[in-house]
Amino acid sequence: MANKKFSEFKQTKWFRRLIWAAVALVIYMIVGFLVLPAVIKSQLVKRLPEFTKRQVSIDEVKLNPFALSYTMRGFSLTETNGETFASLGELYVNFELSSVFNGAWTFGTVSVKEPFGQVTRKADGTFNFDNLIPAANTNEVKEAQPLPAVIVELLTVEGGTVAFTDETRPAPFKAKITPIKFDLSQLTTRPDEHSPYAFTASDDAGMKISWSGRVAVHPPASSGTLKIEGVSLPKYAEYVSEFFAGEIAQGTVNVSGQYGFSLAGKNPAVTLTNGLVQVRNLKVTAKEETLVTLPTVDVRSIVASLEDKSIRVGELATSGMEAKVVREKDGSINLLNLIKPQPVTTNEVVKITTSDTNAPVPWKVALDSLQVTDYSVSVEDRTLPKPGKLKVDQVAVQVDGFQLTTNATLATKISARLNEAGTVEVSGPVHVFPPDGELTIALKEMDLRPFQPFSAPFVNVAIRSGLLSTAGKAQFSLQGGIPKLQFKGDVELAKFDTADGTEFQDFVKWETLAISAIQLQSEPQDLQVQEVRLKGLQTSLIIGTNMQSNIQTVLMAKPAGTNDTAEVVTNETATASVPAASANVVPVKLTKLILEDASLKYGDNSIQPHCNFAVQKFDVSVDGLSTIG
């Protein structure tokens, strides 16, 4: 019975249709699984070398006609020297029948595994991919064509690698970014539709990149968050070697921020918000000597706009720097020696006109707050007979309200410790364009003993002790290229004690020298002092057996470069020079000079018997001293 029904069914047109369908399915399977993969692989290997200018190899091509998927494995492009230019482990593309309903070419998944790319900057400055870029035809104007409608539901990249080689450096620079991971969902070319994405990568020196947000193809636009951590400064220091002679031995940089990018308007729109740049543990050396260490630099709250040409930094904070500054025997500065001079091109002539209406709009740059804490600088001067050494530490700087294009008022405060004893504080409003300001200055008990080597070329005296203090206000300005300075305040030098530098006998000492109510200005030159009070002065005038006084001994030292041959000045020359000298005398007025509890010792050892006497415990008061009569 069943056989009879089947025999009857074979006579129907439905049976013939089924047979044709089965044959078509078999042919479809044979073509899809066997024929097309071989044809595609053959055509790719044959035609791609013409476009890529490189040898092509493919291990395997697979098609699944039922899943509408394409798989390619072991693809590589090889340079003529045998080096790999690009490769990928596997490319998988899955086409969706929903394209019929979406009105767009729809791909369910596009997966790329283990892609590799080699970027090489050759010794002549060209790149290894330059031959892939067609020459631009400036005479041909092509009308922009609309993008086809495409939807990619999921695009993934796993295990990617980008290698970079720069052969323009004295020693070829090499870097590798791997592994690269990228995920992008719902990518579409439809207008104004954004797709979420995520990208991660790292390099062979510990750098990590994370990038996420949304992207649109038509028009090109993107917004999201970018974070780069652990950029090794020693690895990339080769790129500053052309103008920097030092060695960056340590240091990392971190960068992060939220960005926006769009080509929808007439001009590109690029924005940055919540930007952050960090430098950690920077160390600069030269000839195996550490010159600068800088533990932290933080540039926070960066906001920038390309369209508005503006950059605003919320805070620049840095702490803990230690620097060693040395003036070498030849007069050069060690830190300045690290900067290599650059060749100056004299053939280019730049014309600057103030009436150019097409001049570019300057960028608006603002820094809300600068914070410097715990800086330390040691200074050594090796040009002196005995090297002089100074140290400035506990340096703190705070500057608020800087703006590049306006004459904004900067609230400034600076403090430091000098030679591990005295302190200095400077504060007040300052302007940059043009420079001017009014500063309050407070210097407390700066020890003068470390300055002994610096005075040696001028006076042969040993400073046993001395504490310098000052308090006042200083005004400065630069108008018309002429600097102007004013100072009002007090100066005190306490516990001052010196000896001559030959016999090391007492020379000059006092308890306090107080100069009160100073009024000094540079334009026009003028100095007025209310009172000079010197308490506890003890000094001596001793003539030695060689007929020289201790004052002459102290003043024997000459400044460096002074000619040993004394210039002979005739009486006529000296007389003629008096009017010129008096014309340049700075007006000085001293209201009151007071000496309290002073002592003077005199001795003459050049005669026999020696003459010695002393005047002790005397006071002097003089009013109305002036250099201008």
Domain ranges of the chain: 228-340+364-406, 434-560+585-629
The residue written with tokens 């008022």 in the block is: 409
Q: In whole angstroms, give the CA distance from residue 182 to residue 175.
A: 20
pLDDT band at 413 (very low <50, low <70, confident <90, very high): very high
DSSP state of 141: -
What average pLDDT does the chain have? Answer: 87
Cα–Cα distance list, 334 to 174, 375, 451 (Å): 31, 19, 21
Q: What pTM was computed for the model?
A: 0.81
Structure-model confidence comparison of residues 504 and 12, the more confident one = 504
pLDDT digits (tens, 9 = 90+) for 201-211: 998 889 999 99
pLDDT computed for residue 505 by the predictor:
82
pLDDT > 70? residue 307: yes
Structure tokens at 428: 């007040």
Q: What one-letter code names the amino acid at 538?
A: Q
Q: In whole angstroms, give the CA distance from residue 398 to residue 370.
A: 5
Q: In whole angstroms, give the CA distance from residue 291 to residue 324.
A: 5
pLDDT band at 359 (very low <50, low <70, confident <90, very high): low
Distance from chain centroid for Cα 366: 16
Q: Which of 140-149, 211-220, 304-313 has the lowest mean pLDDT?
A: 140-149
**Residue 88 CB partners (closer than 8 Å, separation 6+):** 72, 75, 76, 112, 113, 114, 115, 116
Give, for 99, the enclosing helix (H) or strand (E): helix 99-102
Under a CB-based contact definition with an 8 Å cutoff, are residues 162 and 178 in contact? yes
Under a CB-based contact definition with an 8 Å cutoff, are residues 260 and 269 in contact? yes
CA angle 256, 261, 262 (to 5 degrees): 175
pLDDT band at 567 (very low <50, low <70, confident <90, very high): very low
The CB-side HSE value for 193 (13 A sphere, CA atoms) comes to 11
Pick from 184, 187, 198: nearest CA to 151: 187
Pick from 333, 334, 252, 253: nearest CA to 289: 334
Under a CB-based contact definition with an 8 Å cutoff, are residues 594 and 531 in contact? yes
Q: In whole angstroms, give the CA distance from residue 411 to residue 434.
A: 16
Q: In whole angstroms, give the CA distance from residue 300 to residue 370.
A: 11
Structure-model confidence comparison of residues 572 and 437, the more confident one = 437
Q: In whole angstroms, give the CA distance from residue 385 to residue 412.
A: 38
Distance from chain centroid for Cα 144: 42
pLDDT > 80? residue 464: yes
pLDDT > 90? residue 612: no
Cα–Cα distance list, 57 to 48, 116, 399, 441 (Å): 10, 14, 62, 76
CA angle 429, 431, 435 (to 5 degrees): 125
Q: Which of 38-42, 342-346, 618-622 has the lowest mean pLDDT?
A: 342-346
pLDDT computed for residue 620 by the predictor:
93
pLDDT computed for residue 535 by the predictor:
96
pLDDT > 70? residue 548: yes
Quick one: average pLDDT of 211-216? 93
How many Cβ atoms from other residues are within 10 Å of residue 72's Cβ? Answer: 21
Under a CB-based contact definition with an 8 Å cutoff, are residues 211 and 202 in contact? no
pLDDT computed for residue 382 by the predictor:
94
pLDDT digits (tens, 9 = 90+) for 381-390: 999 989 999 9
pLDDT band at 5 (very low <50, low <70, confident <90, very high): low
Backbone angles phi, psi at 238, to 5 degrees: -55, -30
Under a CB-based contact definition with an 8 Å cutoff, are residues 621 and 594 in contact? yes
